[in-house]
């Protein structure tokens, strides 16, 4: 099977019936940022934070601190899927799994999720968490189909590490 190395694309992701269902997976780099951002903006329910976490600098920090955990899927050289993975040594985190609407239901999302969680597992990470916008019903159904479950015992909270930019408190 091709593509076992992190820096090598998967060349074996083809539907047996149609070559148009082929796609490659490779590690995401900061050079992918503009195309990745355009994909994220084309997908509903992403919950992007352009000014901070999802800025070029924010994504560069994630990629630098979590080498080998973020991936893109390509069809004919065009990015059609992404996943951003990270870990803190104890837990893994998955963010921004996105597949172009034109390429959904071809196994791309599943392949990206499996690639990221496989690398986390190889690093000794046994549990992974992710955030899904409450209104993103397609994503909720996708992750449930893969066996992920929601937690009702945890309340997600966030706060800014920088002083408030204006009235109203935390921006998220």
Asked if pLDDT for residue 107 goes beyond 80, the answer is yes
Residue 169 lies in a domain: no
Q: Does 160 or 122 have the greater pLDDT score?
A: 122
Among 12-21, 102-111, 125-134, 150-159, whose mean pLDDT is lowest?
12-21
Q: Per DSSP, which regions of the chain are E strands?
A: 24-27, 71-75, 78-87, 92-99, 128-130
Selected residue with higher pLDDT from 169 and 139: 139
Looking at residues 85-101, what average pLDDT do you find?
95
Asked, for residue 139, whether it belongs to a domain, the answer is yes
d(CA 81, CA 36): 8
- Number of independent structural domains in the chain: 1
159 domain residue, yes or no: no
**Going by DSSP bridges, is the β-strand pair 92-99/128-130 parallel, antiparallel, or unpaired?**
parallel
Q: Is residue 57 part of a domain?
A: yes
Q: Is 130 helix (H, G, I), strand (E, B) or coil?
A: strand
- Torsion angle, alpha carbons of 155, 58, 119, 13, to 10: 110
| CATH of residue 81 | 3.40.630.30
Higher pLDDT, 77 or 6: 77
Confidence of residue 46 (pLDDT cuts 50, 70, 90): confident
Distance CA 13, CA 20 (A): 11
Mean pLDDT of 54-70: 95
pLDDT value, residue 166: 55
- Residue 35: is its pLDDT beyond 50? yes
Residue 171 pLDDT more than 70? no
In a domain, 35, yes or no: yes
pLDDT-derived band at 158 (thresholds 50, 70, 90) equals confident
Residue 2 lies in a domain: no
How many residues can be counted in the chain? 172
More confident residue, 39 or 7: 39
Residue 90 lies in a domain: yes
Give CA–CA dist 167/172, Å, rounded: 13
pLDDT of residue 162: 80
91 part of a folded domain: yes
* pLDDT exceeds cutoff 70 at 83: yes
* Domain that includes residue 42, residue range: 19-145
Q: State the sign of the Cα–Cα–Cα–Cα dihedral 143, 58, 101, 135.
A: positive
User: Is the pTM value of this prediction over 0.75?
Assistant: yes
């Amino acid at each position: 099977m091709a593509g076992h190395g992190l820096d090598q694309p998967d060349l074996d992701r083809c539907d047996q019936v149609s070559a148009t269902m082929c796609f490659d997976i490779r590690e995401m780099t900061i050079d992918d940022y503009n195309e990745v951002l355009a994909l994220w903006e084309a997908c509903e329910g992403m919950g992007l934070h352009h000014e901070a976490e999802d800025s070029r600098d924010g994504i560069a920090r994630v990629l630098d601190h979590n080498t080998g955990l973020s991936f893109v899927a390509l069809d004919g050289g065009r990015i059609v899927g992404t996943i951003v993975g990270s870990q803190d040594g104890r837990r893994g985190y998955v963010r921004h799994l996105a597949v172009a609407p034109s390429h959904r239901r071809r196994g791309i999302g599943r392949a990206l999720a499996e690639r990221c969680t496989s690398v986390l597992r190889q690093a000794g990470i046994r549990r992974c968490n992710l955030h899904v916008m409450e209104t993103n019903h397609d994503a909720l159904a996708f992750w449930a189909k893969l066996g992920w479950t929601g937690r009702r015992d945890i309340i997600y909270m966030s706060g800014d590490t920088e002083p408030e930019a204006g009235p109203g408190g935390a921006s998220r």
